[in-house]
Amino acid sequence: MNCDLVFINDIETLLQANMQLKTDCFIIAQPFMSIKQAIDLKKELEATKLNFKLCHVMMRPNSKEITAFRQVVDLIAFVGGTVQANKFAVSTKGIDILLNPTSNKKFEFDQNLAHIAQENDVKIGFLFSEILNTKGFSRMKTFRNYAFVCNLLKKYKVKTFFFSGARHEFELRSSKDLRAFYVMLGFKKEQAFYFEKNAIELIFEKPKLFEVIKDEKPKA
């Protein structure tokens, strides 16, 4: 099953997008202010026909926060972009995915962090909206840094995913668009297709499926 991580929690928008884009599952990511807020949204979503997973997004190190939300949400993500944030995310038990490990500044992600992420099975997520919302030289630098990090992730066989990261309807992208993003950043077409089609299983259910990082065509 393919999936997309979005920051949209408007149910009507997501239901319409589901019909138009044929997204199998939405990972609805929010920096929840309280456990109650997460539970209330989960109940609201469960009353619809939308296939979803709920993700709590953290921006500051807080082990107690991880423990508290672990029982309520399906995923816990941590926003990176600095060496300190990236190190916390890949080293801390309970963090499932590191979002945006780099920016348009210096390289904030290195071989050591890639190795730790692989050992701890922390996934790495890139958001297309970060590219979409930058312009000119900043966009070029962001893309360059993404490509650099992707080379490390392939080398160390770290599970890597590309999401729209949409905050608005116009930022949503189809699975075809996201597969193209993989290829633009150095993955083979077969790898991109495999990641996209097996995203839910790779993230949530069957880690043994992750073989695509090898430079060989996955077996049918």
Range(s) of the domain holding residue 21: 3-209
CB count in 10 Å sphere of residue 139 = 15
Which residue, chain included where needed, has tokens 């950043």? Answer: 185
pLDDT at 205: 63
Residues 201-210, mean pLDDT to the nearest whole number: 64
Look up the pTM and report it: 0.89
Q: Is residue 218 part of a domain?
A: no
* Coil vs helix vs strand at 214: coil
Residue 136 backbone zone (phi > 0: left; psi -120 to 50: alpha; other: beta): left
Q: Is residue 158 part of a domain?
A: yes
Residues 168-179, mean pLDDT to the nearest whole number: 91
Q: Is residue 220 part of a domain?
A: no
The CATH code of the domain that includes 178 is 3.20.20.140
Tokens encoding 68: 């508290």
Please give the Cα distance from 122 to 158 (Å, whole number): 8
When divided into structural domains, the chain yields a total of: 1
Q: How confident is the model at residue 211 (pLDDT cuts 50, 70, 90)?
A: very low
Q: Under 8 Å CB-to-CB from 143, ≥6 apart: which residues?
A: 131, 184, 185
Written as one letter, the residue type at 35 is I
Q: Is residue 140 part of a domain?
A: yes
What tens digit of pLDDT does each residue of 79-106 get? 998 999 999 999 999 999 999 998 777 7
pLDDT at 143: 86
Residue 216 scores a pLDDT above 50: no
Q: Is residue 168 part of a domain?
A: yes
DSSP alpha helix (H) spans, 106-174: 111-119, 128-132, 136-155
Q: Is residue 214 part of a domain?
A: no
DSSP alpha helix (H) spans, 71-127: 83-91, 111-119
Q: Is residue 219 part of a domain?
A: no
HSE-CB at 205 with a 13 A cutoff on CA atoms is 6
Report the percent of the chain where pLDDT is more than 90. Answer: 61
Residue 37 scores a pLDDT above 90: yes
What tens digit of pLDDT does each residue of 112-160 get? 999 999 999 999 999 999 888 888 888 888 888 899 999 999 999 999 9
Q: Is residue 215 part of a domain?
A: no
Give which of 97, 89, 96 is closest to 113, Cα–Cα.
Answer: 89
